Copies of this chain bind each other. A is one copy, B any other.
Amino acid sequence: MRVAAITEPGRLEVLEEPVPGIGSAEVLVRVVACGVCASELDIWRGAAGHATFPWYPGHEVSGVVERVGDAVHAFVPGDPVSVWVTTRGFAEYVAVRAEYCFPAVGVPLELALGEPLACAVNAVELAGVSLGDDVVIVGAGFMGHLVHLLVELRGPRRVFVADARPDALKRAEELGAALTVDVTREAVVDVVGRETGDVGADVTFEVTGVQAALDSLGDLTRMSGTVVIAGYHQGEPRTIPLGVWNWMAFRIVNAHFREVETILRGMARGMRLLTSGSISLAGLVTHRYPLEEIGAALQALVDKPEGFVKATVMP
């Protein structure tokens, strides 16, 4: 079968390998789609300290069960599933433990993005959005949209979304934003101050991964409110006005998760919402590539052409 590997920084190859065997508690899944994640850009560029080469990227897999081990009773061949893997997802097949597969019945498989959805579910749950909260989301990329989608499900009073791209703000409106802020035209701090009587929002999500967004959080959030860092802050250390954050007594939430049980729980919840039709990712996967063009998929994530939200590779 074919599988993509980063053989050295900057070099992506599609290799030929045997289809993996499965143990008695495992499932072989024929990959239908595998989303491209920003964290993979850093490895591709050689900027992720933890990566060793060859690195087999791909961890947002959905597909169809091809074969199951003797001890697996939850799935049969033909079942559509979203799969949790940490690597080797840009391939024709993946072999995984059955408990890492989640039913995706009735969901178009390129939209059954269970892994990023798990991140967003866990972020929103940990943020502790309460009934009637005012919520600000800074950043309306793919993860920002997922967070937004889920925040709307938690009974907020109003959701404000800030971004610099008009098409992103348009999608945020469609997802239910009470107000969107084009940060190239007005300061989000001014808008939130005006709308909340200078009190600030109850919960503020930073979903950009850039320094500038961190700077604004202190002025967007009410005293004793919650600041959620959901962006992926690789590279340079970040500067934080800790004196202000102290003074304001913010609850700071680092929305990143490493415990497998937590990730799986978030994924189960996200897939329940997708399969029941409570949410849909329609419109959020904007670019599709065959496996051979995985380099172009990564490049699209770098270039972010007009209208780009998320790329997926379909082997």
Chain A positions near chain B (C-beta within 8 angstroms) = 50, 121, 124-125, 130-133, 150, 153-155, 157-158, 214, 223-224, 229, 232-243, 245-254, 256-259, 261, 268-273, 276, 278
Given known contacts A132-B268, A158-B276, A246-B256, what 13 new A-B pairs fall within 8 Å (CB)? A132-B273, A132-B276, A150-B155, A153-B154, A153-B155, A157-B272, A214-B242, A224-B257, A224-B259, A236-B243, A237-B242, A237-B243, A245-B254
Choice from B239, B243, B249 contacting A235 with Cβ under 8 Å: B243
The quantity of this chain's copies bound in the complex is 4
Contacts of A238 in B (CB 8 A): 239-243
Contact residues of A: prevailing secondary structure: mixed
Asked, given contacts A224-B258, A234-B243, A237-B242, whether A278 binds B155 with beta carbons under 8 Å apart, the answer is yes
Contacts of A132 in B (CB 8 A): 121, 268-273, 276, 278
Docked complex Cα distance between A253 and B235 (Å): 23
Q: How far is the CB of A25 from chain B (nearest CB, A)?
A: 12
Q: How far is the CB of A60 from chain B (nearest CB, A)?
A: 18
Contacts of A278 in B (CB 8 A): 132, 155, 157
Choice from B229, B235, B243 contacting A233 with Cβ under 8 Å: B243
Kindly list the 5 A-B residue pairs having the minimum CB-CB distance in the complex, ordered from nearest: A153-B155, A132-B272, A132-B269, A233-B242, A249-B258
10 A/B residue pairs, CB under 8 Å, sorted by A: A130-B269, A132-B273, A153-B154, A157-B273, A157-B278, A232-B246, A236-B243, A238-B242, A250-B254, A251-B254
